[in-house]
Protein backbone atom coordinates (compact mmCIF):
# COMPACT_ATOMS: atom_id res chain seq x y z
CA UNK A 1 0.00 0.00 0.00
CA UNK A 2 2.82 2.39 0.89
CA UNK A 3 4.56 1.65 -2.43
CA UNK A 4 1.30 2.27 -4.34
CA UNK A 5 0.88 5.62 -2.54
CA UNK A 6 4.41 6.68 -3.47
CA UNK A 7 3.84 5.79 -7.14
CA UNK A 8 0.56 7.71 -7.15
CA UNK A 9 2.16 10.71 -5.51
CA UNK A 10 5.03 10.71 -8.02
CA UNK A 11 2.61 10.46 -10.93
CA UNK A 12 0.51 13.31 -9.57
CA UNK A 13 3.60 15.45 -9.09
CA UNK A 14 4.75 14.74 -12.64
CA UNK A 15 1.36 15.67 -14.08
CA UNK A 16 1.26 18.82 -12.03
CA UNK A 17 4.74 19.82 -13.10
CA UNK A 18 4.17 19.29 -16.84
CA UNK A 19 2.28 22.55 -17.55
CA UNK A 20 4.73 24.52 -15.43
CA UNK A 21 7.65 23.03 -17.33
CA UNK A 22 5.99 23.73 -20.66
CA UNK A 23 5.20 27.33 -19.79
CA UNK A 24 8.01 28.38 -17.49
CA UNK A 25 10.89 25.95 -17.92
CA UNK A 26 10.98 26.03 -21.71
CA UNK A 27 13.43 26.51 -23.26
CA UNK A 28 16.31 25.52 -21.02
CA UNK A 29 18.76 24.44 -23.71
CA UNK A 30 19.67 25.04 -27.36
CA UNK A 31 16.77 25.31 -29.82
CA UNK A 32 17.39 24.22 -33.40
CA UNK A 33 15.70 25.74 -36.46
CA UNK A 34 16.04 23.51 -39.50
CA UNK A 35 15.98 25.25 -42.89
CA UNK A 36 15.49 22.72 -45.73
CA UNK A 37 17.29 24.89 -48.30
CA UNK A 38 20.83 26.27 -48.66
CA UNK A 39 22.25 29.15 -46.66
CA UNK A 40 21.82 32.61 -48.13
CA UNK A 41 18.32 32.22 -49.56
CA UNK A 42 15.19 33.86 -48.17
CA UNK A 43 14.22 30.80 -46.12
CA UNK A 44 17.61 30.88 -44.42
CA UNK A 45 17.98 34.64 -43.94
CA UNK A 46 14.51 35.17 -42.46
CA UNK A 47 14.93 32.24 -40.06
CA UNK A 48 18.23 33.68 -38.84
CA UNK A 49 16.73 37.13 -38.24
CA UNK A 50 13.95 35.64 -36.11
CA UNK A 51 16.34 33.19 -34.47
CA UNK A 52 18.47 36.07 -33.17
CA UNK A 53 15.43 37.61 -31.46
CA UNK A 54 14.28 34.30 -29.99
CA UNK A 55 17.74 33.65 -28.58
CA UNK A 56 17.81 37.10 -26.97
CA UNK A 57 14.35 36.66 -25.46
CA UNK A 58 14.90 33.14 -24.17
CA UNK A 59 18.50 33.51 -23.06
CA UNK A 60 19.30 30.29 -24.90
CA UNK A 61 21.23 29.66 -28.13
CA UNK A 62 19.12 29.24 -31.28
CA UNK A 63 20.96 27.38 -34.02
CA UNK A 64 19.94 27.47 -37.70
CA UNK A 65 20.83 24.24 -39.46
CA UNK A 66 20.58 23.82 -43.25
CA UNK A 67 19.40 20.31 -44.24
CA UNK A 68 19.02 20.49 -48.02
CA UNK A 69 17.81 18.18 -50.76
CA UNK A 70 14.76 16.72 -52.53
CA UNK A 71 12.85 19.98 -52.78
CA UNK A 72 13.02 20.54 -49.04
CA UNK A 73 11.88 17.02 -48.15
CA UNK A 74 15.11 15.96 -46.42
CA UNK A 75 15.01 18.77 -43.89
CA UNK A 76 11.27 18.37 -43.39
CA UNK A 77 11.67 14.64 -42.72
CA UNK A 78 14.42 15.30 -40.17
CA UNK A 79 12.14 17.61 -38.17
CA UNK A 80 9.11 15.36 -38.58
CA UNK A 81 11.01 12.49 -36.94
CA UNK A 82 12.55 14.64 -34.20
CA UNK A 83 11.51 14.42 -30.57
CA UNK A 84 8.34 16.52 -30.06
CA UNK A 85 9.89 18.36 -27.14
CA UNK A 86 9.92 21.86 -28.60
CA UNK A 87 13.62 22.00 -29.34
CA UNK A 88 13.40 21.42 -33.10
CA UNK A 89 11.56 23.80 -35.44
CA UNK A 90 11.18 23.62 -39.22
CA UNK A 91 11.34 26.92 -41.09
CA UNK A 92 9.67 25.94 -44.33
CA UNK A 93 8.75 27.49 -47.67
CA UNK A 94 5.64 26.17 -49.46
CA UNK A 95 7.17 23.02 -50.97
CA UNK A 96 7.31 20.58 -48.04
CA UNK A 97 4.09 21.80 -46.45
CA UNK A 98 1.71 22.41 -49.37
CA UNK A 99 3.15 21.22 -52.69
CA UNK A 100 5.49 18.23 -52.59
CA UNK A 101 2.91 15.63 -51.58
CA UNK A 102 1.29 16.24 -54.98
CA UNK A 103 4.57 15.80 -56.88
CA UNK A 104 6.42 12.99 -55.12
CA UNK A 105 5.03 9.47 -55.21
CA UNK A 106 6.08 8.86 -51.64
CA UNK A 107 7.14 11.07 -48.74
CA UNK A 108 8.63 10.01 -45.43
CA UNK A 109 6.40 12.50 -43.62
CA UNK A 110 2.78 13.63 -43.63
CA UNK A 111 2.62 17.41 -44.13
CA UNK A 112 -0.80 17.48 -42.48
CA UNK A 113 0.66 16.24 -39.19
CA UNK A 114 3.19 19.00 -38.63
CA UNK A 115 2.11 21.30 -35.81
CA UNK A 116 1.63 24.86 -37.12
CA UNK A 117 3.30 27.71 -35.24
CA UNK A 118 3.05 30.83 -37.42
CA UNK A 119 3.67 32.21 -40.89
CA UNK A 120 6.81 34.34 -40.75
CA UNK A 121 6.41 36.20 -44.02
CA UNK A 122 4.93 36.22 -47.49
CA UNK A 123 7.03 37.06 -50.54
CA UNK A 124 4.78 37.61 -53.56
CA UNK A 125 5.86 36.33 -56.93
CA UNK A 126 6.38 38.85 -59.70
CA UNK A 127 6.42 38.60 -63.48
CA UNK A 128 9.99 39.54 -64.33
CA UNK A 129 10.87 40.07 -68.00
CA UNK A 130 13.99 40.72 -70.03
CA UNK A 131 14.35 44.40 -70.86
CA UNK A 132 13.98 44.02 -74.62
CA UNK A 133 10.90 41.80 -74.52
CA UNK A 134 8.30 43.54 -76.73
CA UNK A 135 5.81 43.76 -73.86
CA UNK A 136 5.76 46.35 -71.10
CA UNK A 137 2.72 45.12 -69.19
CA UNK A 138 1.07 41.82 -68.34
CA UNK A 139 -1.67 42.49 -70.89
CA UNK A 140 0.92 43.12 -73.60
CA UNK A 141 2.73 39.93 -72.56
CA UNK A 142 -0.46 37.92 -72.96
CA UNK A 143 -1.14 39.48 -76.37
CA UNK A 144 2.45 38.76 -77.46
CA UNK A 145 2.23 35.15 -76.23
CA UNK A 146 -1.05 34.60 -78.07
CA UNK A 147 0.47 35.98 -81.27
CA UNK A 148 3.55 33.76 -80.82
CA UNK A 149 2.34 30.47 -79.30
CA UNK A 150 5.11 28.52 -77.60
CA UNK A 151 7.75 31.13 -78.38
CA UNK A 152 7.68 32.88 -75.02
CA UNK A 153 10.20 31.02 -72.86
CA UNK A 154 9.94 31.12 -69.09
CA UNK A 155 12.61 30.13 -66.60
CA UNK A 156 11.97 28.48 -63.27
CA UNK A 157 14.16 27.56 -60.33
CA UNK A 158 13.40 23.90 -60.99
CA UNK A 159 10.62 21.46 -61.80
CA UNK A 160 7.85 21.62 -59.22
CA UNK A 161 9.10 24.89 -57.70
CA UNK A 162 6.73 27.76 -56.98
CA UNK A 163 8.18 29.66 -59.95
CA UNK A 164 7.36 26.71 -62.23
CA UNK A 165 3.84 26.36 -60.84
CA UNK A 166 3.24 30.12 -60.88
CA UNK A 167 4.09 30.30 -64.59
CA UNK A 168 1.78 27.36 -65.25
CA UNK A 169 -0.96 29.12 -63.32
CA UNK A 170 -0.42 32.29 -65.35
CA UNK A 171 -0.45 30.39 -68.66
CA UNK A 172 -3.68 28.57 -67.79
CA UNK A 173 -5.47 31.70 -66.63
CA UNK A 174 -4.27 33.74 -69.61
CA UNK A 175 -4.96 30.98 -72.12
CA UNK A 176 -1.47 31.07 -73.58
CA UNK A 177 1.20 28.51 -74.43
CA UNK A 178 4.61 29.05 -72.86
CA UNK A 179 7.84 27.03 -73.05
CA UNK A 180 9.53 25.99 -69.82
CA UNK A 181 13.25 25.86 -69.09
CA UNK A 182 14.05 24.70 -65.51
CA UNK A 183 17.19 25.94 -63.81
CA UNK A 184 18.97 24.86 -60.65
CA UNK A 185 17.89 27.78 -58.53
CA UNK A 186 16.54 31.28 -58.98
CA UNK A 187 20.03 32.83 -59.29
CA UNK A 188 20.94 31.16 -62.61
CA UNK A 189 17.42 31.78 -63.93
CA UNK A 190 17.67 35.51 -63.26
CA UNK A 191 21.15 35.69 -64.76
CA UNK A 192 19.73 34.36 -68.01
CA UNK A 193 16.81 36.79 -67.87
CA UNK A 194 19.32 39.64 -67.60
CA UNK A 195 21.32 38.16 -70.47
CA UNK A 196 18.17 37.89 -72.61
CA UNK A 197 18.41 34.11 -73.05
CA UNK A 198 14.90 33.58 -71.66
CA UNK A 199 11.88 35.87 -71.69
CA UNK A 200 10.23 35.80 -68.27
CA UNK A 201 10.58 34.44 -64.75
CA UNK A 202 7.66 34.38 -62.31
CA UNK A 203 9.48 34.01 -59.02
CA UNK A 204 9.62 35.69 -55.66
CA UNK A 205 10.12 39.42 -55.71
CA UNK A 206 12.97 39.28 -53.19
CA UNK A 207 15.26 37.51 -55.63
CA UNK A 208 14.47 39.74 -58.61
CA UNK A 209 14.30 43.10 -56.85
CA UNK A 210 17.97 44.04 -57.02
CA UNK A 211 18.03 43.35 -60.76
CA UNK A 212 14.93 45.46 -61.29
CA UNK A 213 16.31 48.29 -59.17
CA UNK A 214 19.53 48.18 -61.20
CA UNK A 215 17.53 48.54 -64.42
CA UNK A 216 18.50 45.10 -65.72
CA UNK A 217 14.98 43.60 -65.86
CA UNK A 218 11.42 44.91 -65.79
CA UNK A 219 8.42 43.96 -63.66
CA UNK A 220 5.09 43.42 -65.44
CA UNK A 221 2.85 42.52 -62.52
CA UNK A 222 2.88 41.10 -59.02
CA UNK A 223 0.93 37.92 -58.20
CA UNK A 224 -0.74 39.41 -55.16
CA UNK A 225 -4.10 40.93 -54.26
CA UNK A 226 -2.36 44.23 -53.56
CA UNK A 227 0.84 45.98 -54.58
CA UNK A 228 4.04 45.02 -52.83
CA UNK A 229 5.54 47.64 -50.51
CA UNK A 230 8.98 46.90 -51.96
CA UNK A 231 7.82 47.54 -55.56
CA UNK A 232 4.90 49.95 -55.19
CA UNK A 233 4.88 50.93 -58.88
CA UNK A 234 4.20 47.36 -60.05
CA UNK A 235 0.49 46.61 -60.58
CA UNK A 236 -1.23 43.90 -58.54
CA UNK A 237 -3.07 40.85 -59.88
CA UNK A 238 -6.49 42.59 -59.90
CA UNK A 239 -4.96 45.59 -61.67
CA UNK A 240 -3.64 43.42 -64.52
CA UNK A 241 -7.07 41.86 -64.91
CA UNK A 242 -6.20 38.53 -63.23
CA UNK A 243 -7.61 38.76 -59.68
CA UNK A 244 -7.13 35.03 -59.06
CA UNK A 245 -3.45 35.09 -60.02
CA UNK A 246 -2.25 34.81 -56.44
CA UNK A 247 1.11 33.11 -56.06
CA UNK A 248 3.76 33.63 -53.45
CA UNK A 249 6.65 32.15 -51.65
CA UNK A 250 6.04 32.11 -47.92
CA UNK A 251 7.95 30.93 -44.91
CA UNK A 252 6.49 29.37 -41.79
CA UNK A 253 7.47 27.71 -38.53
CA UNK A 254 6.11 24.24 -37.81
CA UNK A 255 7.04 21.67 -35.16
CA UNK A 256 7.06 17.86 -35.03
CA UNK A 257 3.79 15.97 -34.55
CA UNK A 258 2.89 15.63 -30.91
CA UNK A 259 4.62 18.79 -29.69
CA UNK A 260 2.71 19.99 -26.58
CA UNK A 261 0.36 22.87 -27.26
CA UNK A 262 1.74 24.89 -24.33
CA UNK A 263 5.17 24.90 -25.95
CA UNK A 264 3.75 25.62 -29.41
CA UNK A 265 1.85 28.64 -28.09
CA UNK A 266 4.97 29.89 -26.31
CA UNK A 267 7.00 29.69 -29.52
CA UNK A 268 4.16 31.36 -31.40
CA UNK A 269 3.99 34.26 -28.93
CA UNK A 270 7.75 34.82 -28.96
CA UNK A 271 7.93 34.65 -32.76
CA UNK A 272 4.99 36.99 -33.31
CA UNK A 273 6.55 39.43 -30.84
CA UNK A 274 9.81 39.33 -32.82
CA UNK A 275 8.01 39.88 -36.13
CA UNK A 276 6.37 43.04 -34.75
CA UNK A 277 9.70 44.65 -33.88
CA UNK A 278 10.42 47.62 -36.18
CA UNK A 279 13.98 46.49 -36.94
CA UNK A 280 12.80 42.99 -37.86
CA UNK A 281 10.11 44.41 -40.13
CA UNK A 282 12.68 46.63 -41.83
CA UNK A 283 15.12 43.74 -42.33
CA UNK A 284 12.33 41.57 -43.74
CA UNK A 285 11.24 44.27 -46.19
CA UNK A 286 14.84 44.62 -47.33
CA UNK A 287 14.54 40.95 -48.31
CA UNK A 288 11.30 41.66 -50.18
CA UNK A 289 9.36 39.81 -47.46
CA UNK A 290 6.21 41.09 -45.78
CA UNK A 291 6.13 39.95 -42.11
CA UNK A 292 2.98 38.13 -41.00
CA UNK A 293 2.99 36.58 -37.51
CA UNK A 294 -0.46 34.97 -37.22
CA UNK A 295 -2.00 32.51 -34.77
CA UNK A 296 -1.56 28.75 -35.01
CA UNK A 297 -5.17 28.38 -36.18
CA UNK A 298 -4.77 31.10 -38.80
CA UNK A 299 -1.62 29.46 -40.08
CA UNK A 300 -3.35 26.08 -40.34
CA UNK A 301 -6.15 27.63 -42.40
CA UNK A 302 -3.65 29.44 -44.62
CA UNK A 303 -1.68 26.27 -45.38
CA UNK A 304 -4.91 24.42 -46.16
CA UNK A 305 -5.80 27.11 -48.73
CA UNK A 306 -2.32 26.89 -50.23
CA UNK A 307 -2.58 23.11 -50.53
CA UNK A 308 -5.82 23.45 -52.49
CA UNK A 309 -4.40 26.23 -54.69
CA UNK A 310 -1.28 24.34 -55.76
CA UNK A 311 -3.04 21.00 -56.11
CA UNK A 312 -5.39 22.60 -58.62
CA UNK A 313 -2.46 24.08 -60.59
CA UNK A 314 -0.57 20.77 -60.61
CA UNK A 315 -3.60 18.78 -61.74
CA UNK A 316 -4.80 21.31 -64.33
CA UNK A 317 -1.37 21.72 -65.94
CA UNK A 318 -0.45 18.04 -65.42
CA UNK A 319 2.83 19.01 -63.76
CA UNK A 320 5.18 16.13 -63.00
CA UNK A 321 8.78 15.81 -61.86
CA UNK A 322 9.69 13.53 -64.76
Residues with Cβ within 8 Å of 9's Cβ and at least 6 positions away in sequence, in order, are none
Residue 6 confidence (pLDDT): 35
State yes or no: pLDDT of 294 exceeds 60: yes
Q: Judge contact between 162 and 204, C-beta under 8 A.
A: yes
- The answer, yes or no, to whether the previous bond of 310 is cis (omega within 30 of 0) is no
Highest mean predicted confidence (pLDDT) among 28-42, 139-153, 202-216:
139-153
Ramachandran class of 236: left when φ > 0, alpha when ψ lies in -120 to 50, beta otherwise: beta
Helix axes 186-195, 205-213, angle to 10 degrees: 30
The stretch 280-292 carries a mean pLDDT of 93
Helix axes 261-275, 296-317, angle to 10 degrees: 80
Residue 65 confidence (pLDDT): 97
DSSP string, 142-200: HHHHHHSTTT-EEEESSTTSHHHHHHHHHHHHHT---EEEE-SSHHHHHHHHHHTSSSE
- Cβ neighbour number for residue 213 with a 10 Å cutoff: 11
Radius of gyration of the chain (CA): 22
Residue 11 confidence (pLDDT): 38
State yes or no: pLDDT of 13 exceeds 80: no
Q: For the chain, give the percent of residues with pLDDT over 70.
A: 92
Closest CA to 128 of 215, 199, 214, 224: 199
State yes or no: pLDDT of 15 exceeds 60: no
Strands (E), the chain: 31-35, 62-66, 88-92, 115-130, 153-156, 179-182, 200-204, 217-222, 248-255, 290-291
Q: List, in order of start, the domains of the chain with CATH numbers.
A: 30-123+249-317 (3.40.190.150), 124-240 (3.40.190.10)
Closest CA to 179 of 155, 157, 158, 195: 155
The stretch 227-234 carries a mean pLDDT of 92
pLDDT in tens, 17-52: 333 334 458 999 999 999 998 888 888 999 999 999
Give the integer Cα–Cα distance in Å for 63 and 306: 28
pLDDT in tens, 62-112: 999 999 988 899 999 999 999 999 999 999 999 999 999 999 989 999 999
Residue 185 confidence (pLDDT): 80
Residue 111 confidence (pLDDT): 97
Give the integer Cα–Cα distance in Å for 74 and 90: 11
The stretch 274-295 carries a mean pLDDT of 95
289-292 long-range contacts, Cβ below 8 Å, gap at least 24?
Answer: 289/42, 289/46, 289/120, 289/121, 289/122, 289/123, 289/206, 289/251, 290/121, 290/122, 290/123, 290/124, 290/228, 290/229, 291/120, 291/121, 292/118, 292/119, 292/120, 292/121, 292/122, 292/250
Q: For the chain, give the percent of residues with pLDDT over 90.
A: 79
pTM equals 0.84
Amino acid sequence: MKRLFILFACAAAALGAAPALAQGGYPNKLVKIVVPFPAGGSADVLARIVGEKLSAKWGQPVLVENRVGAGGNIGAEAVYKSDPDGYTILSSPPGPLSINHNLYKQLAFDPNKFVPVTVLAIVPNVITARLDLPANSAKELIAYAKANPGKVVYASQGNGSTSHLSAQMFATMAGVELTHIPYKGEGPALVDIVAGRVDIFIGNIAAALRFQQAGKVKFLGVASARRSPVAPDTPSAPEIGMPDFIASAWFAFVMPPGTPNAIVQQVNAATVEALRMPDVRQRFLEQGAEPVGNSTAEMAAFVKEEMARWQKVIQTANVTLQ
